Amino acid sequence: MSVPEVVRELITRNRSVYDCMKMDLINYTALAVKIQPEIEKILGNSVNLNTIVVAIKRFADTFENKGEVKEESVLKNARLALTDGIMDIKFSIKDSNGLDPITIFDEFSKIGNNYEFFRVSDSFRFLAEDMDDVRQIFNNISNRKNMFNTGLAKIKISIPESQNQSDVVSYVAEVLHVNGIELVNAFFSQDNIVIILNERDASRAYEILHSDILRN
């Protein structure tokens, strides 16, 4: 991920910051100082503060064209897939006891292929069905406290290659927020965007997004 992509993702996840930015009520430098440590942690290297400020400013500028974006709809030609009964599995590299992703992939292949994998600077993340067989794969992890976040659902959004993934996440977060639904998390893969919601909100969120696509 690039600095602008990480900035967009962090701001989109934080509804308070996102709303303040839309209303032009936020100091870009102060925000850059606040999120700089998290950006550097995600990217695994130091990032110049001015680079972050510029990325924030460019993201803020996109709100000026929000009317045009809505007219064209960033979800045009997108495809959705909803899966409920999902758990978010997160563990750090230091707690893995030598359990590397390849070993985990082998174990998952014996169960099925309905999972997502994401790697950040110091941890691994899997999104998988909440099943005992899946939990057993991670029995050797030394620190399992708060490792499993359950009661979730995922909506996978497949978009044309020409679309900006960060713009899609921002748009989806706003559409759902207006309808009283908040994202738990959002992840970018090579071909898709995966948004995570509480299971109780998933069906309604799917219908809202699907209706948006049909209108275009």
Stretch 108-121: mean pLDDT, rounded?
78
Cα 99 to Cα 137: distance, rounded to the nearest angstrom: 10
Share of the chain above pLDDT 70, in %: 84
Decide if pLDDT at 70 tops 60: no
- Do 40 and 77 share a structural domain? no
Tokens matching residue 77: 């030609």
Stretch 75-84: mean pLDDT, rounded?
89
Closest CA to 182 of 166, 201, 167: 201
- pLDDT confidence of 86, banded at 50, 70, 90? very high
Question: Please, what is the average pLDDT of the chain?
Answer: 82
- Do 165 and 135 share a structural domain? no
How distant is the alpha carbon of residue 129 from its chain centre? 18
CB within 8 A of 65, min separation 6: which ones? none
Give tens-digit pLDDT for 14-53.
878 888 888 888 899 999 999 999 999 888 899 999 999 9
* Cross-strand bridge partners of residue 115: 128
Residue bearing tokens 């406290």:
145
pTM over 0.85: no
What is the extent of the structural domain holding 61?
A: 3-65
Question: Residue 97 has what pLDDT?
Answer: 63
- Do 171 and 143 share a structural domain? no
CATH no. for residue 183?
A: 3.30.70.260
Q: Among residues 101, 120, 147, which one ends one of the domains? A: 147
Residue bearing tokens 């960033």:
74
- Do 20 and 55 share a structural domain? yes
- Do 170 and 130 share a structural domain? no
- Do 138 and 179 share a structural domain? no
For 66-83, letters b (16+ CB in 10 Å) and e give eeeeeeeebbeebebebb
Q: How many domains does the chain have?
A: 3
- Select the more confidently predicted residue: 56 or 67: 56
Report the interhelical angle of 49-61 vs 28-43 (nearest 10°).
110
Weakest-pLDDT range from 92-96, 105-109, 181-185: 92-96
Instruction: Count the helices and strands in the chain (H runs, E runs).
Output: 9, 6
- Do 138 and 96 share a structural domain? yes
- pLDDT confidence of 68, banded at 50, 70, 90? very low
- Do 180 and 76 share a structural domain? yes
Stretch 44-68: mean pLDDT, rounded?
82
* Cross-strand bridge partners of residue 125: 90, 118
Give tens-digit pLDDT for 161-203.
766 677 788 788 888 888 889 889 888 776 788 899 999 999 9
- Do 131 and 34 share a structural domain? no
- Do 174 and 125 share a structural domain? no
Strands of the chain, DSSP E: 79-92, 115-120, 123-129, 148-158, 185-188, 192-198
- Do 179 and 100 share a structural domain? no
Closest CA to 147 of 89, 101, 94: 89
